[in-house]
Amino acid sequence: DGAVTALAEGEAVITAACGEVSAVCSVTVTPVAAESVTLSSTELSLKVGETETLTATVLPEDATEKTVMWSSSEAAVVSVEDGAVTALAEGEAVITAACGEVSAVCSVTVTPA
pLDDT tens for 18-64 read 999 999 999 999 999 999 999 999 999 999 999 999 999 999 999 99
**In this structure, which amino acid lies at residue 89?**
A
Supply the pTM of this predicted model. 0.81
Q: Are 32 and 60 in contact (CB under 8 A)?
A: yes
Tell me what pLDDT residue 111 has. Answer: 98
Q: Are 96 and 65 in contact (CB under 8 A)?
A: no
Gap between the Cα atoms of 110 and 62, Å rounded: 36
